[in-house]
């Protein structure tokens, strides 16, 4: 592994840990001596990485440091390009524009060879029939970021419409539809709502009492018992039961 590649690997390892990691453990995972590991830490600090700690205590990377995209490998560039093109094709208006802009910015700072690799578009996004929606899912994403409640008009599989006060915390993107995952005050539980069945929504600007990360953790815990079904099947069925 080149030294540049080793530094990237070291940053990735530090990002995975929330608590200090010993120099010995870092050296073993990167395949170098502890002495070399110390030099790599100092090199990264010199490049702006806010790495706290010292020999004998362990090291931790504080948030905020990023390596330039020119450090990406070929497979990483293709993965980034494919993901951004998928969002451009499947995201709502604002999200699609953001993905397109991000792709252009990355291409602008890449070395010529990698920029040409991104522009080749040899990994393609297939067509999909998206269910029509009467709302803008950008409003759902904004409510999730702000952790505020929504008042929605939801139409179930039988066509009946009910009003729900929900705490939105995740949005699932599938080939034919999108699904809002939220705590429903009416049901007193986490529920899945197909966005093409949300006939209207009102942002209440009332923060819900539970952090979004905790709601997400609870939802993931519930999914453990449903691993026998594919996630798309499980969530579609759950949305039909609303």
Residue 88 phi, psi dihedral angles, 5° rounding: -60, -40
What does 205-224 look like in DSSP terms, one character per residue? Answer: EEE-SS-HHHHHHHHHHHHH
180: left (phi over 0), alpha (psi -120 to 50) or beta: beta
Hey, what are 228's tokens? 């026998």
Q: Supply the angle between the helices 3-16 and 34-46 in degrees, to the nearest 10.
A: 90
Residue 121 phi, psi dihedral angles, 5° rounding: 55, 50
- Residue 238 has what pLDDT? 64
- One digit per residue, the tens of pLDDT, for the chain of length 242 reads 667 778 888 888 888 888 899 999 999 988 899 999 999 999 888 877 888 988 888 999 887 666 554 566 778 888 888 999 999 888 888 898 999 888 887 887 777 777 787 777 777 787 777 778 899 999 999 999 999 999 999 999 899 999 999 999 999 988 888 999 999 999 999 999 999 999 999 999 899 999 999 999 999 999 887 765 554 555 556 666 67
10 Å CB burial of residue 216 (0-12, 13-18, 19+) is middle
* Helices of type H across 121-201: 137-146
- Residue 186 has what pLDDT? 95
- Residue 241 has what pLDDT? 66
- Residue 131 has what pLDDT? 78
Hey, what are 117's tokens? 């690799």
- The CA distance from 62 to 66, in Å, is 11
- The CA distance from 176 to 187, in Å, is 26
Do 198 and 191 form a contact (C-beta atoms < 8 A)? no
Q: What is the pTM of this model?
A: 0.64
> Strand order of the sheet with strand 198-207?
189-194, 178-184, 161-173, 148-155, 198-207
- Residue 143 has what pLDDT? 96
- Residue 126 has what pLDDT? 79
- Residue 53 has what pLDDT? 86
């Amino acid at each position: 592994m080149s030294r540049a590649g080793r530094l990237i690997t070291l940053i990735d390892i530090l990002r995975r840990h929330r608590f200090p990691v010993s120099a010995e453990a870092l050296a073993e995972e990167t395949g170098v001596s502890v002495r070399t590991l110390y030099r790599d830490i100092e090199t990264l600090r010199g490049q702006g990485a806010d790495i706290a700690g010292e020999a004998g205590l362990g090291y931790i990377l504080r948030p905020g440091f990023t390596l330039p995209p020119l450090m990406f490998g070929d497979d990483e560039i293709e993965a980034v390009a494919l993901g951004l093109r998928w969002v451009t094709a499947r995201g709502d208006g604002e999200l699609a524009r953001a993905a397109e802009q991000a792709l252009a910015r990355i291409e602008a700072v890449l070395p010529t060879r990698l920029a040409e690799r991104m522009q080749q578009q040899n990994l393609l996004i297939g067509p999909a029939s998206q269910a029509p929606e009467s709302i803008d899912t950008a409003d759902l994403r904004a409510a999730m970021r702000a952790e505020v409640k929504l008042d929605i008009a939801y139409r179930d599989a039988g066509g009946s419409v009910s009003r729900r006060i929900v705490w939105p915390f995740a949005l699932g993107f599938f080939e034919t539809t999108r699904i809002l995952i939220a705590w429903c005050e009416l049901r007193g539980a986490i529920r899945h709502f197909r966005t093409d069945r949300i006939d209207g929504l009102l942002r209440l600007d009332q923060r819900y009492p539970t952090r979004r990360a905790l709601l997400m953790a609870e939802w993931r815990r519930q999914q453990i018992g449903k691993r026998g079904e594919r996630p798309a099947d499980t969530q579609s069925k759950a949305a039909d039961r609303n």
